[in-house]
Amino acid sequence: VPSAEVTIRISTSPKLPGELASNYESNHGVDVQVVFSGTRTFDAGLIGGEFTAWFPFDVPFLYDPAAGNLLVEVVTRSSSGIDYTDASNDLDDKSSRAFGYNPDGTSAQFRDTGADILALEFDAAFPLVVPAGFDLVEDDGWSGTLAVLLRMQEVYGAVSFPNLPMVLNGLAFRRDADTPSFEDGVALLTMRLSTTATAPDAMSATFAENYGNNVVTVYSGAIQLASPTESQPGSPAPFEIAVPFSAPYNYDPADGNLLVEIIVRSAAGIGWNDQSNELDDHASRAFSLSPDATQATYRDSGADVLRFDYTPAGPLLRISPAGGWREGPVLVTISSWQTGGVIRYTLDGSEPTATSPLYEHPLNLEGSTIFRAAAFAGDQPVTEVVGETYVNSRQPLMLGGVAGLDGKQVTLGLDGWEGFSFEVLATTSYRTWTSHGVRVNHGGRITFEDPLANVVAARFYQLRMVEP
């Protein structure tokens, strides 16, 4: 069976294609990460031209092309039954390589314009800055969060995040605008995330009391940090002080606020970072200058300005609140990951089309409603259809009339329950009712074959709503 023992590292590199150094380490970026390490076996019948020699990453790698080029380092320690892989040798393919035949070597024996042809699987990541409103604005606060030894917890309100479930893949700090740039920062860092019921500016001095149930360590170990870009007058520094998560974090703002815990056990060469000190920024902190503390020495309304990188989890649209029984009208909103296009909806349980009403603002639904929505680009849907069913328990269920008693079909009028399903029951005596299937109310009418057409007697009909 073809197999290989391989270690794969990825980093964002300042090196250009064709300019790789002989020394491997000097080509690494500060975010170098081992994404695969182990032995892989492959199908002996691999067909040339297909990307079938697949290496699933043990941990995700967060890559921003704006920060530099992508460096892929492959160390092969053993290999059996594997032939050559496809590569490009074109001078204008914007790729190159440096390599040697010693897996433990520190310097390349060869450098040329060749490069393996790879297929990379990725999820497009979205950036989000918290507290809200500081994307392009420098606040007057500053902090030494990564520069000093401490244990800090910061709570960011759920209102600062899109109202949709997401996977957080990493975060980044930005240097305070008055702090000089730096390139060789190092820290021994532990970072945990948790969904918490603790509100901003209401944090407990006991660190453990601020946790929720789903505490996840997203980074633990030494990390190289840098912020080399010089500040521009009137603008904040870029979010360059990046912490890629070794374990992604699933966060749903509907479940609570986000707690970020930072423990720094050693640090050197790291400058001050930007911080918000606003009372209304939906963020606060509790901290101690001892990494092993269980109690916070200080609590205030400050909070680091962070950029999270996230990918959507679940549908690209979310309808809120959740459906169910209500005792009156309900205000329905749609949240969306979808960029571009428009959202269209229906109120009768049917699938939205390109001609369905346009969603422009929250809708006040007074009666029982089967709500469906989807995003469209022109005439084409670009998301799956999502929906919720709202039942107003105070809405009467009354027949508005009977028509079509012609011995074949019966039509019962039923206003206000568009799209809902009802079981049809019939009798001639009021004592024994017989079910004759389920029908859907469309256009205020429920039509069915008359089950008592051959009975010479008075006939009575009843509808029973099928539980949505």
User: Per-residue pLDDT averaged across 282-301, rounded?
Assistant: 97
Which of 87, 116, 145 lies at the terminal end of a domain, its last residue?
116
> How confident is the model at residue 374, as a pLDDT?
92
List b or e across 234-258, with b for residues whose CB sees 16 or more CB atoms inside 10 angstroms.
eebbbbbbbbbbbebbebbbbbbbb
Same domain as 148, residue 287: yes
133 and 73 in a single domain? The answer is no
pLDDT band, residue 48 (cuts 50/70/90): low
* CATH number of domain containing 303: 2.60.120
Residue % of the chain over a pLDDT of 90: 54
pLDDT at 303: 97
- The answer to whether the CB of 275 falls within 8 A of the CB of 241 is no
Domain contains 216: yes
pLDDT over 80 (residue 46): no
Whether 453 is in a domain gets the answer yes
Q: According to the model, what pLDDT value does residue 339 have? A: 61
Which tokens belong to 253?
């703002």
The pLDDT confidence band at residue 453, using thresholds 50, 70 and 90, is confident
Residues 297 and 243 in one domain: yes
Query: At which of 259, 278, 312 does a domain end?
Result: 312
Residue 448 confidence (pLDDT): 83
pLDDT digits (tens, 9 = 90+) for 60-117: 787 878 778 999 999 999 998 887 888 888 888 899 999 999 999 999 999 999 999 9
The pLDDT tens digits of the residues spanning 122-138 come to 766 678 999 998 988 88
Pair (178, 300) in one structural domain: yes
Q: Indicate if 98 and 244 belong to the same structural domain.
A: no
The answer as to whether 46 is a domain residue is yes
Q: What is the pLDDT of residue 300?
A: 96
266 and 218 in a common domain? yes
Contact predicate 281/148, CB 8 Å = no
| 257, 199 Cβ separation under 8 angstroms | yes
Map residue 7 onto helix, strand or coil: strand
Provide the pLDDT for residue 124: 62
Higher pLDDT among residues 156 and 138, named by residue: 156
State the DSSP code for 258.
E
Judgement on whether residues 144 and 287 belong to the same structural domain of the protein = yes
Res. 155 pLDDT band, cuts 50 70 90: very high
* Model pLDDT for residues 314-366, shown as the tens digit of each residue: 677 889 999 999 899 999 999 887 666 789 999 999 999 999 999 999 999 99
Percent of the chain surpassing pLDDT 70: 95
Residues 43 and 72 in one domain: yes
Q: State yes or no: pLDDT of 22 exceeds 80.
A: yes
pLDDT tens digits for 197-215?
Answer: 999 999 999 999 999 999 9
Higher pLDDT, 383 or 301: 301
The pLDDT of residue 416 is 83
Domain boundary among 338, 358, 392: 392
The span from the CA of 10 to the CA of 437, in Å, is 61
- The predicted model scores a pTM of 0.58
Q: Within a domain: residue 245?
A: yes
Q: What is the number of structural domains in the chain?
A: 4
pLDDT surpassing 60 at residue 44: no
Instruction: Output the furthest CA–CA distance in the chain (Å, rounded).
Output: 100
User: Do 162 and 208 reside in the same domain of the chain?
Assistant: yes
250, 165 in Cβ contact below 8 A? yes
Q: What are phi and psi of 171, to 5 degrees?
A: -145, 165
Q: Please give the mean pLDDT across all residues of the chain.
A: 89
How much is the pLDDT for 274? 95
- DSSP state at residue 16: P
| Alpha carbon distance 22, 108 (integer Å) | 5
Lowest-pLDDT range of 182-186, 291-295, 452-456: 452-456
Is 299 exposed, middle or buried (CB count within 10 Å of its CB: 0-12, 13-18, 19+)?
middle
Q: Are residues 155 and 200 in contact, defined by beta-carbon separation less than 8 angstroms?
A: yes
* Residues 421, 384 within the same domain: no
pLDDT for the residue numbered 451: 77
Whether the per-residue pLDDT at 276 is higher than 80: the answer is: yes
Q: Categorize the per-residue pLDDT at 436 as very low, low, confident or very high, splitting at 50, 70 and 90.
A: confident
Q: Would the pLDDT of 216 be above 80?
A: yes
Radius of gyration for the alpha carbons in the chain, expressed in angstroms and rounded:
31
State the residue range of the domain holding 367.
Answer: 317-392
The answer to whether residues 151 and 288 belong to one domain is: yes
Q: How far is CA 24 from the centre of its chain?
A: 34
Q: Of 58-67, 249-258, 416-425, which range is least confident?
A: 58-67
